[in-house]
């Protein structure tokens, strides 16, 4: 395996001048060209811009040598705004939208020396669990091309799993980093709410959304978080809590760590192979010196209904801005099916018809469904019964976790499977939205409680589909979470296994003789 398959490896190749940033960039683009026609992980690839940027980094080698992500090719979920690069959120509504600014995470990764090679496919406006809700077609799972990669950051997970880029950013509103990471056999970290600035993230549900990395290793996730985390004047919800040296926390020592297992929650609907992989993973952690403790999260079983009431309410408000005025797409007057008043082409009805037709044509079915549900639960007469009630139960879920993380019986992390099942087949759940929502049973509560959570590869099903172990931690204590996940990774080799689509296209030969840095 080429060293460029990890962030650390790619950076070290750059630092040692074994590979230039342009070499690393060309390798990534060549792999995308070879594999992406089958995977469709990317909506947009910016080969020229990426190579131009890589050449600048090579030219200024002394300046970039010590940058934490110097020369590393990366991918960004297509709901992160990139100045001058179209950003679609996988929606017709934004098909031609070119942001006039970079998201804070994009600026931070650029400052750390990373090179953006493209924008990855996702569910439209990050709504879904499979990346099938993309207006541009689904992404395929590198482990089985007839299966979904998970979602909503499915393109990012597939890109990292297929070794297209060693780092991709995702966003996680109800599991959208962790679940695709699990289903594609990579590491996915959702930081604490507020740990990473959301400025420039196309909003889905603002009290739940958080940006985070997808990588091959826990070390790489820690490295990425060091670059991403921190307060941002442009995001009033970003936290000013100090940013740790996350990579320094990876000591491999989990002796005395207490890991909670919510056994009663895990009794319902977990696939047999997934349950077996979880049990084996817990044994591995125990053998390393961690203590397993039973915990109760009595309200966690209500997380899905609470999530779909809260997130759709917020989404219906956030998506109100897409009205055909500022984001590129507008339905032509000829598209009006139900003209407001006698076919006149002026007057308030004309404007409202334009809004309603633009939204009807620009949004896909799942987005419409959620905007409708959110509008309903916020409407007069139903607000108290649904939205307010859900917010109260959210408090109870939050208290469950607070209790588990506090007091003499406190645990350091809570372990669950990331997803109750492995990747399902493309098309299998598309006709039943509720069935699709149930895929999120173990991931949504971390968003409702704002807690950091990570998914690490923990085995395979008998069909050779990846399974993920999810660890949820205390707020702003990503260091402990990463330490436990890294220790687990050290005792396992799941993360090293190569998907069949990648074996068919092996990585480029490592370390050619050094190219001159100054071209």
Partner 1 sequence: MLAFAMPTVLTREQVSAIAALAHLDLDPAELDLFARQLGSILDYANQVQSIDTAGVPPTASLVVRQTTDRADRVGPSLDIADTLANAPDPDRTHLEGGFFKVPRVIG
Tell me the two tokens of residue 99: 């942001």
Largest CA distance in the chain: 76
Q: Does 97 bind partner 1 (CB under 8 A)?
A: yes
If binding is defined by CB under 8 A, does position 38 make contact with partner 1?
Answer: no
Nearest residue (CB) to partner 1, 14 versus 327:
327
Give the CA angle between residues 186, 490, 28 to the nearest 5°. Answer: 40
Q: Is the CB of 9 or the CB of 473 nearer to partner 1?
A: 473
Q: Which of residues 57-86 bind partner 1 (CB under 8 A)?
A: 83
Residues 225-244 close enough to bind partner 1 by CB under 8 A: 231, 233, 236-241
Measured CA distances, 355 to 204, 317, 368 (Å): 19, 15, 14
In whole angstroms, the minimum distance from the beta carbon of 65 to partner 1 comes to: 30
345 contributes a contact to partner 1 by CB under 8 A: yes
In the complex, the smallest distance separating the C-beta of residue 481 from partner 1, rounded to whole angstroms, is 17
Task: Report the nearest approach of partner 1 to the CB of residue 473 (Å).
Answer: 15
Work out whether 391 is an interface residue with partner 1 (CB under 8 A): yes
Q: Which is nearer to partner 1, 385 or 514 (CB)?
A: 385
Q: Which is nearer to partner 1, 437 or 442 (CB)?
A: 437
Does the protein bind partner 1 through residue 396 (CB under 8 A)?
yes
Q: Which of residues 164-193 bind partner 1 (CB under 8 A)?
A: 193
Per-position x/- string for 281-310, each x denoting binding to partner 1 as judged by CB under 8 A, each - no binding: ------------------x--x-xxx-xx-
Residue 334 interacting with partner 1 (CB under 8 A): no
Binding of partner 1 by 406 (CB under 8 A): no
Residue 350 as a binder of partner 1 (CB under 8 A): the answer is yes
Q: Which residues fall within 8 angstroms of residue 50, CB to CB, at 6 or more apart?
A: 25, 28, 29, 73, 115, 116, 117, 118
> Based on CB atoms, which residue is closest to partner 1, 45 or 239?
239
Q: Please pick, from the candidates 125, 143, 327, 494, the single residue that binds partner 1 as defined by CB under 8 A.
A: 327
Residue bearing tokens 């959210």: 394
Cα-only R_g, the chain: 22
From the list 347, 427, 500, 506, which residue makes contact with partner 1 (rule: CB under 8 A)? Answer: 347
The region of 108-116, 118-126, 407-415, 447-455 touching partner 1 under the rule CB under 8 A is 447-455
Residue pair 209/51 in contact by the 8 Å Cβ criterion: no
The two structure tokens encoding residue 516: 């001159």
Q: How far apart are CA 283 and CA 277, in angstroms?
A: 10
Smallest distance, partner 1 to C-beta of residue 98, A? 6
Say whether residue 260 binds partner 1 (CB under 8 A): no
According to the binding rule CB under 8 A, does residue 386 interact with partner 1? yes
- End-to-end alpha carbon distance in the chain: 28
In 364-462, the DSSP E strands lie at 413-417, 453-460
Total interface residues for partner 1 by CB under 8 A: 82
Candidates 295, 298, 264, 302; CA nearest to 391 is: 302
Do residues 470 and 277 make contact, with C-beta atoms less than 8 angstroms apart?
A: no
d(CA 163, CA 165): 5
Cα–Cα distance measured from residue 302 to residue 182, given in angstroms and rounded to the nearest whole number: 22
Asked if 383 touches partner 1 (CB under 8 A), the answer is: no
Three-class SS of residue 189? strand
Strands (E), 281-347: 291-294
Q: Considering only 39-47, 167-175, 276-284, 329-337, which stretch makes contact with partner 1 by CB under 8 A? A: 329-337
């Amino acid at each position: 395996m080429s060293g460029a398959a990890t962030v650390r490896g790619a950076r070290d190749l750059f630092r040692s001048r074994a590979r230039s940033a342009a070499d690393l960039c060309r390798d990534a683009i060549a792999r995308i060209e070879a594999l992406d026609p089958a995977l469709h992980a990317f909506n947009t690839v910016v080969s020229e811009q990426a190579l131009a940027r890589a050449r600048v980094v090579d030219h200024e080698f002394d300046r970039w040598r010590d940058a934490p992500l110097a020369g590393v090719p990366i991918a960004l979920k297509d709901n992160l705004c990139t100045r001058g690069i179209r950003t679609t959120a996988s929606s017709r509504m934004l098909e031609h939208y070119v942001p006039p600014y970079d998201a804070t995470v994009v600026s931070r990764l650029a400052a750390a020396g990373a090179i953006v090679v493209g924008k990855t496919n996702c569910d439209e406006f990050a709504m879904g669990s499979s990346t099938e809700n993309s207006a541009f077609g689904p992404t395929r799972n590198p482990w089985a091309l007839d299966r979904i990669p998970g979602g909503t950051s499915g393109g990012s997970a597939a890109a990292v799993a297929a070794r297209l880029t060693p780092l991709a950013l995702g966003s996680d509103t109800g599991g959208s980093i962790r679940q695709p990471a699990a289903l594609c056999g990579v590491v996915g970290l959702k930081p604490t709410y507020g740990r990473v600035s959301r400025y420039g993230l196309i909003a889905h549900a603002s009290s739940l959304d958080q940006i985070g990395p997808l990588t091959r290793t826990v070390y790489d996730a820690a490295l990425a978080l060091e670059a991403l985390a921190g307060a941002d004047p442009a995001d009033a919800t970003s936290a000013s809590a100090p940013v740790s040296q996350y990579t320094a926390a990876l000591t491999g020592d989990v002796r005395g760590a207490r890991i909670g297992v919510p056994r009663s929650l895990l009794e319902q609907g977990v696939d047999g192979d997934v349950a077996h992989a979880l049990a084996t993973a817990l044994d591995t952690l125990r053998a390393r010196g961690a203590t397993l403790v039973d915990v109760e999260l009595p309200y966690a079983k209500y997380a899905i209904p609470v999530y779909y009431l809260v997130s759709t309410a917020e989404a219906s408000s956030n998506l109100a801005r897409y009205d055909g005025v500022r984001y590129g797409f507008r339905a032509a007057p000829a598209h009006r099916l139900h003209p407001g008043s006698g076919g006149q082409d002026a007057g308030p009805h004309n404007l409202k018809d334009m809004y309603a037709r633009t939204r009807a044509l620009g949004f896909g079915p799942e987005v419409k469904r959620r905007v409708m549900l959110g509008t309903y639960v916020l409407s007069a007469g139903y607000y108290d019964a649904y939205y307010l009630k859900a917010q109260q139960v959210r408090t109870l879920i939050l208290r469950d976790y607070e209790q588990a993380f506090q007091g003499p019986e406190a645990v350091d992390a809570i372990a669950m499977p990331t997803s109750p099942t492995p990747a399902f087949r493309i098309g299998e759940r598309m006709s039943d939205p509720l069935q699709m929502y149930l895929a999120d049973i173990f991931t949504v509560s971390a968003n409702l409680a704002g807690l950091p959570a990570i998914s690490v590869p923990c085995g395979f099903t008998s069909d050779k589909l990846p399974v993920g172990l999810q660890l949820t931690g205390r707020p702003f204590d990503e260091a402990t979470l990463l330490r436990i996940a890294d220790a687990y990774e050290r005792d396992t080799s799941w993360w090293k296994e190569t998907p069949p689509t990648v074996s068919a296209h092996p990585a480029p030969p490592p370390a050619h003789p050094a190219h001159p840095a100054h071209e």
